[in-house]
Amino acid sequence: MSDTEYTFITTREAGYQEPVYSELRQPLIAGDKHPCDVTKDVCAPLEGKPTGAWYAGFLCAFSALMVGVLLVVHQIWTGIGTWGLNKTVGWGWAITNFVFWVGIGHAGTLISAILFLFRQKWRTSVNRTAEAMTIFAVMCAGIFPLIHMGRPWLAYWVFPYPNMRGPLWVNFRSPLLWDVFAISTYFLVSLTFWYFGLIPDLATLRDRARGLRKKIYGFFSLGWNGSFRTWSRYEIVYLLLAGLATPLVFSVHTIVSFDFATSVIPGWHSTIFPPYFVCGAIFSGMSLVVSLMIIARKVMRFEDYITVRHLDAMARLILLTSCIVSLAYMTEIFTAWYSVNPFEQFIFANRAFGPYGWAFAIMMTCNVLIPQLLWFKKARTTPMLLFPITVFVNIGMWYERFVIISSSLHRDFLPSSWSYYSASWVEVGILLGSFGLFFTCFFLFCRFLPMIAMAEVKGVLGYGKKSSE
Amino acid sequence: MTNVFATFNDEHSLLAAARSAREEDLVIVDAYTPYPVHGLEAAMGIRRSRLTYACFLFGAAGLIGGLGFQLWVFMVNWPMNVGGKSLNALPALIPVAFETAILFAALGTVVTFFAVARLFPGKRASLAAEGITDSQFVLAVESDDGERAKEFFEDQGAVKVEMEEIS
């Protein structure tokens, strides 16, 4: 498909063209694998009995999810008053968590779509898991606006549907409604993209399974038989979906940032928000992908597939986005000073040195300072060093959203209503519950679906090897 | 007429066989592979899929539908005066129209693909040989003289050749 990847030479005697790979390229998959090794290695964790570690992890995640469910029931039963919100700070942890989870979701589409368009073939080892994370993260994100409504059974009111209340429609000019469209489109398109990529692998699982498993995998693999005429169309559709998902991923976090940027709150009302948010999203999402991959490659013995080279490539992306996010922080502070607008200047001084200064310090340390370690090759290629860095980045990125939301709101235009917001135990529990939901889904995914896109990995096995024929 | 299924162990042999088969005037019906083998389109003489046009049409429908609906709501069904702005002010209508365009294009293309490739949930897979979804490559050709085709593929390095009489 990509002629840029290798040059074709015509062997006159043989009468056909054969790709010649550069010797400078290193193999993407270690261990000199044959396609049937790939099938065996990737299917192995799905076909045996789950290990004790899987049960332990799943039980922890599921317990956290149940804590979240109970607290959501408590919150809906009693009311939003169970949260720490007050008149001044009407958006707290719920929106912080929403933006955090949507951000996490962006790495999946980056890896599956954008890196695909850039012909980054190393993506094949990590795209399936990253796409799965996208879907689970968007599910977690969706919960927060839903429960913040207070009456979630009326959530369908956010969709435009014909009704008997006279001519009455949702306000299409509201950024909150744009969010509804952006997030639901993102969820549906990501799910389609993920499932579409899964079909050939489901067929592989079907042909190896027996009994009920065979029936279930058979149902979802749509009668896939590896026909090349289908493959040929399949690749076109994959390319089209990647092309559509790329502008989509930019639009989603742009629209999320509009929730803030189109308001007239100092600290939010800023044209830099869309690129700043998109970069931050990729930054945090990529970090979570790396964190989970470092664990998964060890536990599931995928070291040959997710090599140190893959970690290095992702760490470079984390470093790049960290630098862009740092630049955005500096630009915001500079703009506040240069604008000579007393409200802007106050909000930024208050953000750094006011009551939320501690959160600002955590954000700066985790997002600006710690990722600078990634300039060192040793930090990028040693999993034990890379893991803590990526965890710190996610802590920092959660705090970034918290800082933007709480510190911009808590001292509003009327000093008599200045206040301080801190989360109640219910909010802490619901955040824990969202992590529970994410990891419950993730553990089920590891158990029932192939974590590595087998058909795609088989296609890049020869990559970087000198053709022997 | 005979359908001949030749199984190969690697993509290079499959590609070489497909190219030579066309020179031998064997009609290639299809190939079955565990992953998309690049270069096989040309060897089999498959034209580029027209699904891109379908994608464009669905996207255009989504864009026009999304924008048209919002304009109808604000100009005809539910006119709202917001700060004296004209009812058809476009900038605020772009995000929703953009999202509907992407949604229609993506879902429409995939559904069209399923229809064209005749894939649907619960369909029974008819496999040309074992191991296609694992590591085997199969070339299916139509030939008047099945024995000759069998010999030809064995020369090309096929590990197994199966024949099926058709009327």
Q: Provide the pLDDT for residue A209.
A: 86
User: For residue B142, which phi and psi values (nearest 5 degrees)?
Assistant: -110, 135
Interatomic CA distance for residues B52 and A368, integer angstroms: 43
Please indicate if any CB of chain A lies within 8 Å of the CB of B33: yes
Q: Provide the pLDDT for residue A5.
A: 43
Contact residues on chain A for B78, CB-CB shorter than 8 A: 167-169
Check CB contact under 8 Å for A233 and B16. no
Q: What is the pTM of this model?
A: 0.90
Chain A residues 311-350 with a CB less than 8 Å from chain B:
none
Check CB contact under 8 Å for B77 and A189. no
Q: Provide the pLDDT for residue A21.
A: 54
Burial class (CB in 10 A: 0-12, 13-18, 19+), A11: exposed
Is beta strand B2-8 parallel, antiparallel or unpaired with respect to B137-143? Answer: antiparallel
* Tens-digit pLDDT profile for residues B4-34: 888 888 888 888 888 888 777 788 888 898 8
Q: In this model, does residue B140 exceed pLDDT 70?
A: yes
List, in sequence order, every residue forming a beta bridge with B78; answer none if it has no partner. Answer: none
Q: Provide the pLDDT for residue B105.
A: 95
User: Closest partner residue to A15 among B19, B98, B110, by Cβ?
Assistant: B19
For A462, the token pair is 């020869």
User: Closest partner residue to A223 among B32, B109, B124, by Cβ?
Assistant: B124
Q: Provide the pLDDT for residue A367.
A: 93
Check CB contact under 8 Å for B15 and A16. yes
Please indicate if any CB of chain A lies within 8 Å of the CB of B111: no
Tell me how close the Cα of A91 comes to any Cα of chain B, in angstroms. 23
AA identity, residue A237: V
Alpha helices in B73-165 (DSSP H): 94-116, 146-155
Highest-confidence range of A453-462, B93-102, B126-135, by mean pLDDT? B93-102
Mutation to test the A interface, candidates B96, B107, B109, most A Cβ within 10 Å: B96
Nearest residue of chain B to residue A183 (CA atoms):
B99
Interatomic CA distance for residues A198 and A452, integer angstroms: 10
Check CB contact under 8 Å for A240 and B39. no
Tell me how close the Cα of A391 comes to any Cα of chain B, in angstroms. 32
Contact residues on chain B for A209, CB-CB shorter than 8 A: none
Check CB contact under 8 Å for A236 and B96. no
Q: Provide the pLDDT for residue A39.
A: 86
Nearest residue of chain A to residue B67 (CA atoms):
A172
Q: Provide the pLDDT for residue A275.
A: 92
Check CB contact under 8 Å for A35 and B36. no
Please indicate whether residue B83 or residue A402 has the higher confidence score (pLDDT): A402
Is the ipTM higher than 0.90? The answer is: yes
Assigned superfamily of A7-459? Formate dehydrogenase/DMSO reductase domain (1.20.1630.10)
Interatomic CA distance for residues B61 and A164, integer angstroms: 28
Please indicate if any CB of chain B lies within 8 Å of the CB of A262: no
User: What are the average pLDDT values for consecutive 10-residue runs of chain A, which has 469 residues?
Assistant: 41 45 67 81 84 90 96 93 89 92 87 83 85 93 91 90 88 91 94 92 89 90 89 91 92 92 89 91 92 88 86 92 94 92 91 92 94 93 92 94 91 89 92 95 91 86 55
User: Closest partner residue to B44 among A185, A228, A230, by Cβ?
Assistant: A228
Burial class (CB in 10 A: 0-12, 13-18, 19+), A32: exposed
Tell me how close the Cα of A367 comes to any Cα of chain B, in angstroms. 30
Tell me how close the Cα of B78 comes to any Cα of chain A, in angstroms. 6
Tell me how close the Cα of A247 comes to any Cα of chain B, in angstroms. 9
- Name the residue with tokens 């029936």: A215
Q: Provide the pLDDT for residue A19.
A: 52
| Secondary structure of residue A159 in the 3-state scheme | coil
User: Closest partner residue to A181 among B52, B92, B96, by Cβ?
Assistant: B96
Q: Provide the pLDDT for residue A77.
A: 93
Tell me how close the Cα of A55 comes to any Cα of chain B, in angstroms. 29
